[in-house]
Amino acid sequence: MSTDDSTNTAAFDGPQSTDITMNHKLKLAVAQSRTLSTTVDTLHALEETTRSAARSGVHLILFPEAYFGGYPRTCNFGVSVGARDPAGREQFLQYFHSAIDLGDTPVGAGDDWVDKKLPVAKDAKFRGDGTREELERVARETGVFIVTGLVEKAGGSLYCAAVYVCPQFGVIGKRRKVMPTGSERIVWAQGSPSSLRAVTTTINKVRLTLAAAICWENYMPLLRHSIYSQNVNLYLAPTADARDTWLPLMRTIGCESRAFVLSANQCVRKKNLPAWCRGNLSGQTEQLSSNGTDSGNRRSRRRSTITFTEDKHEICWPEVGNNTTQPERVQPPAENGIHPQRESLTIEEDPTSPSPTGRRRSIVTETAEHHHISWPAPKFNSRSSSSLSRRHTSSGGDEDFVSRGGSCIVSPFGDVLAGPLWEVEDGGLLTVEADFDDCERGRLDLDVAGSYSRNDAFKLTVEGLDLNPPP
């Protein structure tokens, strides 16, 4: 397997002819791999998966968001508004130690980091902890271009990032997530938008312009357009989102960008979460405010139960005879497609129902005093009904999935070429042979950053980022 860099130039001897019969196909892969207990273990798993992909003729492979360092699924790090739990600080300490050090600066040194121009300590062989060098070795030995998500520590902060590793030239680019989602903002800093710059390479005479948008960055229309503007033909979306809504988004991006879209997510059971995730740290110590005092008088609160409908509407009602404890959340809101349930979906006979079956759906919730409250469930189709039933039968045990995966590959026309891959663990691999001429075929009728963009009327600028296609 040969890999050539697009910056290589030959002596000019007149206009170069283009052979329209030239093969412009590459084999692409996404790895539904999960983070293991240590960085060394995860590196070994990545190497094994990449070597297996290479034997299948894969040219480029994508690994999930936060594959190195780990996605802090289920963690709250003991944080609430105005309060910090000391046990949560210990959890963050363990998470910080699990992150990798690539030798970059907090601001991001850009090309100086990529080209290894930053100073190295006198007693060190390289900057960082050696993970970068190991990734470069794996890419070099396998001939596979590797893109992987990771959690990077620089200074005293953590960044969610993705790194591009070329078999011939090593790391040719890295970007940091510009907008961590929801509770991710507790532990991840914001990356510079300048890192949204696409990178280029040539593999088997196929010219690639590729860029990554990480997880819910893909829901940011202007960020997506900043990538489209660079004329990418390979759009990468490492993610932690296992919701059913993720695949339609990937199909939309494929159609909008006229690029191939790769999306990789981890598939993880509760028992396989890293040790710092599984530790029952939340609520084990008294929450303290910033000045070290108790966070509030808990006895002044009344007990209530909060339930959530399928459409995430919240219903709150008081419980009778007990006003000394905090509210109990019977059903926490969904996060990345997972609904820890403590209520049940029942089917009750309703002789007045117009339905041929004479049945209606209701949600039954049990209070602390074992009273049952029943209220009608929202209407949903058979597909959502089966999905809801699957989630309600979850036992909450160690064998349950906290992320079901959903990795996929989409064409420049929005067609699903492979996946989504659900509930497949330990290195599930999707591969497709991609004809990159399809990207140009799609530009016949849609080029959202060119002929279809009305650049005379609509303009986008991004601080520190050149939106022109890279040379």
Is 208 within a domain? yes
Under a CB-based contact definition with an 8 Å cutoff, are residues 230 and 470 in contact? yes
Is 359 within a domain? yes
Is 250 within a domain? yes
The predicted pLDDT at position 350 comes to 45
Helical ranges in 230-381 per DSSP H: 246-257, 275-278
* Residues 140, 161 within the same domain: yes
- For residue 350, give its domain range: 341-393
Active site residue 215: yes
The predicted pLDDT at position 337 comes to 47
Residue 111 sits in a domain whose CATH number is 3.60.110.10
Which among 393, 412, 434 is the end of a domain?
A: 393
Query: How many residues are recorded in the chain?
Result: 471
* Residues 252, 363 within the same domain: no
The predicted pLDDT at position 329 comes to 45
The predicted pLDDT at position 307 comes to 62
The predicted pLDDT at position 60 comes to 97
Q: Catalytic residue among 160, 166, 215, 439, which?
A: 215
* Residues 419, 364 within the same domain: no
* Residues 154, 270 within the same domain: yes
* Residues 383, 404 within the same domain: no
* Residues 404, 365 within the same domain: no
Q: What predicted TM-score, i.e. pTM, was given to this entire model?
A: 0.73
Helix (H, G, I), strand (E, B) or coil at 224: helix
Q: CA angle 309-406-153, nearest 5°?
A: 100
* Residues 250, 384 within the same domain: no
Domain count, the chain: 2
* Tokens found for residue 360: 């209606």
* Residues 245, 205 within the same domain: yes
Is 317 within a domain? no
* Residues 428, 357 within the same domain: no
Active site residue 316: no
* Residues 245, 375 within the same domain: no
* Residues 66, 168 within the same domain: yes
Active site residue 117: no
* Residue 276 CB-half CA count within 13 A: 24
Is 90 within a domain? yes
Q: Catalytic residue among 160, 177, 255, 256, which?
A: 177
Is 373 within a domain? yes
Backbone dihedral angles phi then psi of residue 9, each to the nearest 5 degrees: -125, 150
Under a CB-based contact definition with an 8 Å cutoff, are residues 84 and 290 in contact? yes
Is 176 within a domain? yes
Is 374 within a domain? yes
* Residues 212, 267 within the same domain: yes
Give the other-Cβ count within 10 Å of 375's Cβ.
Answer: 12
The predicted pLDDT at position 287 comes to 36
Successive 10-residue mean pLDDT values, the chain, 471 residues: 45 48 87 94 96 96 96 92 92 94 93 92 90 97 97 96 96 95 93 93 93 96 94 96 95 95 95 80 38 40 57 59 46 46 41 45 50 49 37 62 94 94 88 94 88 85 89 87
Burial of 203-233, coded b for 16+ CB within 10 Å and e otherwise, reads: beebebbbbbbbbbbbeeeebbbbbbbbbbb
